[in-house]
Structure 1
Amino acid sequence: MRASRRVLGVVWLGLCACPTPAASDEAATASESGGSSSTSSTGGSTSTTSTSGQSPEPVTTTGAAPDGGGCGHDTPEALMGCVETRRWSEDVALIAHSRPPGSPHWQMVQDRCAAALEQAGFTVQRQAYASGVNVVGTLPGTTSPDEVVLLAAHYDHIGGCPGADDNASGVAGALEVARVLGQAALPRTVVVACWDEEELGLRGSRAFAQGLTGPMPVVAFNFDMIGVASEADDSQVFPGPLAERFPELQAELVANRGRANFIAVVADGPAEAFARELEGLAESLGRLTGVMALTAAEKLDEDDFGVLTLSDHRSFWERDIPALHVFDTGVFRYPGYHCTSGLDTPDRLDAVFAADVMKATAAAMASAAGL
């Protein structure tokens, strides 16, 4: 997720409706090179990955979530049972290393995106633009191929930071959702993409969105940080201005004792119905979900709502394409954001939480695609 120093600084200076996390992260001194190792195979090549360090409070580490329920392909709800958390965890471990654009690991992750999408049945294009490369997979619809439902996540990150939550979690989630949707016969076309250079000003998603011609996507889903959750009371920050704008959501968070265990969804007006669909599906799994729907004036308002526009969904809002951002709230619950307090490593993520995000999104996308 692209940081705005001005906005985030103001938030941390006290405009909070919930207390800041009770436990600090100062004890986290993990080194990316230390700890345990695992080996993953991608597209015929083998890559060794490592994770290390202690999981600081209030972030919970749960390990790989057991996958329950049967896998079916006839309804959106049935598709939720097809999500395999193990695959997500393995991809996060593979991706979560320093990968600034142009680096060897950045290239490896780009290749992983292409290989996984091809394996899921998508036709893959590497879209080169002025300064980077997007990976775009397309699964044609069975009856309405000109109507597109899109999901994407950015695969770049800042140098020197593993970026497990930001955004290995989102890339791994998008690839797993693609695998699930590839098993269904969907009337509308599904596009799943890995954007480049989000951290450098949303360059990859902007290049794609600005280059669109003809019919625009029906809706664009964005994954950027979907792996952090906590059951600790008062582990969630909710900025005061947002609490004033969304009082019902604020009341729900207070009733939830300020725990950072809910899915956050930001949508513009035309995408709100898709966000509400996702909310209902997530809550059918027992996962609290909060939707923040912005008006046409608010969604590009840098002063009051800029903190909700710091990821690739904004590129679609700029083209008046309905878009929604599905995430864990990032800096507002996670001190490891951009490695500001300890490294952002896989052992600090919650696979059970991420599984619920993927399940609800896969079902919501299948519904949007006409299943």
Structure 2
Amino acid sequence: MIASLLWLCSYRSKRREMIMTYRRHALLRVSVVLVAAMLVPALASATDNSTAPTETSSASEAVDQSRYEADLRFIAKPRPPGSRHWQAVQDMCVSRLRSYGYDVSIPTYAHNDTSKNVIGIKRGTKNPNTTVVLSAHYDSTDRSCPGADDNATGTAALLESARVLAKQKYDRTLVLACWDEEERGLIGSQAYARSVADDKATNIAMMYGYEMIGFTAKKPGSQKIPFGFGLVFPDQVEALKKRGNSGDFITIVYDNNLLPMRAADAFVDAAAKLDLPVVALPVFDTLKNTWAMKQLRRSDHAAFWSYNLPGMMITDSSNFRNPNYHCLKGTNDSVETLDHAFSTKVIKATIASVEVMLRD
């Protein structure tokens, strides 16, 4: 208890010193983002600029919601590592990425002989040693839970993203990754992050992780706020309260450094054009690998943070909104509970951001 109080005092002191820099980015942006998502479509319709290029005018426009939904319905069955459906989804990742023209590998790692990531690579044309990673974990819990939101939404989003991104040429190398064993402690992504951290020839410009992107709840009070978030993210929490704590937004969590901030800005700009509310949560290097941020380290981006690599989680906020999380309360994490139009907007905003980061 004493240690916790000392940490809190130390944190408050650091926060006072850094608050102005912090607020210049996403702390004050969150209110703007939530409002802009509603205002931009109205402003666009009031002016004749339909032919003007936007952040969402390239690959993201090719996103097909029906393809995403079909993949989601196939994936959303129990698939703990080693199970029959786990193998089927792994095979799906392999065959799709190969069919889209990616160079595919299926590395195993030290945890056991059956654990496998699926990695697809599209080499950059100008700077192939700089890499952008777009990813999602394809495993589910060991329970007999379909895992539709967690994380069939992410895997289906990854495959649809891979399809549309394969048609373009980019300066930097694009890696598509289906991670294994996220539910057992980020094991697959940890293995990959460790390998690229040791590879001095590879520079990770950005890592994106789709982590539950399909559940919305528009009823006031449906969005829960993690304990203590008001201390670290006061402006975001206040903005959500003003909107009645409704769960109709997507959250992006990222380390507060130059490249992740660029990726976040691109995501936010694209989301505003799509009428997609965003809550942006930048986390300082001094905090991102600490116990205090444990609620923001619950997915594969944290594996990259652990090796001081840039990472972003894209999420509907998991159990802080979705009552069907891991089917723990006797409810079912099923496709029928999800908002596919919302997920499609998330995919489009992500692709727009990825394209920005793939440019030199």
Fold conserved (TM > 0.5)?
yes
Correspondence for 1:125 among 92, 100, 105: 105
Per-residue deviation, 1:199:
0.8
Residue 210 of structure 1 pairs with residue 194 of structure 2: yes
Q: SS where residue 298 of structure 1 aligns? A: helix
Correspondence for 1:283 among 243, 250, 272: 272
Residue 319 of structure 1 pairs with residue 283 of structure 2: no
The residue number in structure 1 matching 2:216 is 229
Question: Does the CA contact (< 8 Å) of 1:76 and 1:364 recur in 2?
Answer: no
Per-residue deviation, 1:358:
0.1
- Specify the code of the residue in structure 2 equivalent to 1:347: E
Residues 158-201 of structure 1: per-residue CA shift (max 9 Å, x gap): 12111000000000001111111111111111001000001111
The residue number in structure 2 matching 1:335 is 323
Correspondence for 1:135 among 115, 118, 132: 118
The residue number in structure 2 matching 1:297 is 286
For residues 268 and 243 of structure 2, the distance between their equivalents in structure 1, rounded to whole angstroms, comes to: 16
Residues 59-88 of structure 1: per-residue CA shift (max 9 Å, x gap): xxxxxxxxxxx9xx9965332211111111
- Specify the code of the residue in structure 2 equivalent to 1:261: D
Residue 158 of structure 1 pairs with residue 146 of structure 2: no
Question: Does the CA contact (< 8 Å) of 2:55 and 2:270 recur in 1?
Answer: no
Correspondence for 1:105 among 77, 85, 89: 85
For residues 237 and 59 of structure 2, the distance between their equivalents in structure 1, rounded to whole angstroms, comes to: 31
The residue number in structure 2 matching 1:80 is 60
Residues 299-341 of structure 1: per-residue CA shift (max 9 Å, x gap): 0112x21010011101100111111100100000001000113
The residue number in structure 1 matching 2:70 is 90
Pick which of 262-271 and 73-82 moved more.
Answer: 73-82
Question: Does the CA contact (< 8 Å) of 2:217 and 2:246 recur in 1?
Answer: yes
With the length of structure 1 as denominator, give the TM-score of the two structures.
0.78
Q: SS where residue 276 of structure 2 aligns? A: coil
- Specify the code of the residue in structure 2 equivalent to 1:182: A
Question: Does the CA contact (< 8 Å) of 2:55 and 2:269 recur in 1?
Answer: no
Gaps of 5+ in 2: 1-49
Question: Does the CA contact (< 8 Å) of 1:261 and 1:288 recur in 2?
Answer: yes
State the superposition RMSD in angstroms: 1.8
For residues 249 and 230 of structure 2, the distance between their equivalents in structure 1, rounded to whole angstroms, comes to: 16
For residues 83 and 257 of structure 1, the distance between their equivalents in structure 2, rounded to whole angstroms, comes to: 31
Instruction: Quickly say closer, same or farther: Cα 1:186–1:323, change in 2 above 3 A.
Output: same
The residue number in structure 2 matching 1:363 is 352
For residues 316 and 216 of structure 1, the distance between their equivalents in structure 2, rounded to whole angstroms, comes to: 12
The residue number in structure 1 matching 2:236 is 249
Moved over 6 A (4+): none
Pick which of 227-236 and 133-142 moved more.
Answer: 227-236
- Specify the code of the residue in structure 2 equivalent to 1:88: Y
For residues 92 and 340 of structure 1, the distance between their equivalents in structure 2, rounded to whole angstroms, comes to: 21
Q: SS where residue 191 of structure 1 aligns? A: strand
The residue number in structure 2 matching 1:116 is 96
For residues 56 and 273 of structure 2, the distance between their equivalents in structure 1, rounded to whole angstroms, comes to: 12
Correspondence for 1:177 among 161, 164, 176: 161
- Specify the code of the residue in structure 2 equivalent to 1:154: H
Structure with bigger helix share is 2
Question: Does the CA contact (< 8 Å) of 1:216 and 1:321 recur in 2?
Answer: no
Gaps of 5+ in 1: 1-69
Q: SS where residue 359 of structure 2 aligns? A: coil
